[in-house]
Amino acid sequence: MTAPIHDREAATPALRAEQAADLDPPTVRLPRPTRDDRRTEIVDRLLDALEDLVARHRALAGNPAQVDLHAELIAAEVAHELAVTRSALRRAPHLRRTG
């Protein structure tokens, strides 16, 4: 029976963990969006929602007996989208220039 061989070049568990950490991709921190960026996102979301609403209701249109109900549904959805947008814009107000 031979004595166990100790490999002096073998990494210790702590050293292996350090090396593994070096292999992990670095954490990328994106810059915080500016107020203008946020407001642009809000407007883009509103426009996308309104385009979807128009497409959806054009596909549903066609029954003349339900035209009043259909118009009311469209008005309610537009009012909802406007309320959501106004609320989001209040949370990201436009800064006034001084000077």
Question: How distant, in Å, are the alpha carbons of 45, 53, 67 from that of 81?
Answer: 9, 10, 21
Distance of alpha carbon 74 from alpha carbon 71, whole angstroms: 5
What is the reported pLDDT for 58?
82
Residues 14-57: tens digit of each pLDDT? 556 666 656 767 788 888 888 889 999 999 999 999 999 988 88
The pTM assigned to this predicted structure is 0.56
Which of 49, 37, 56 is closest to 85 using CA atoms? 49
Please report the pLDDT score of residue 48 as a whole number. Answer: 94
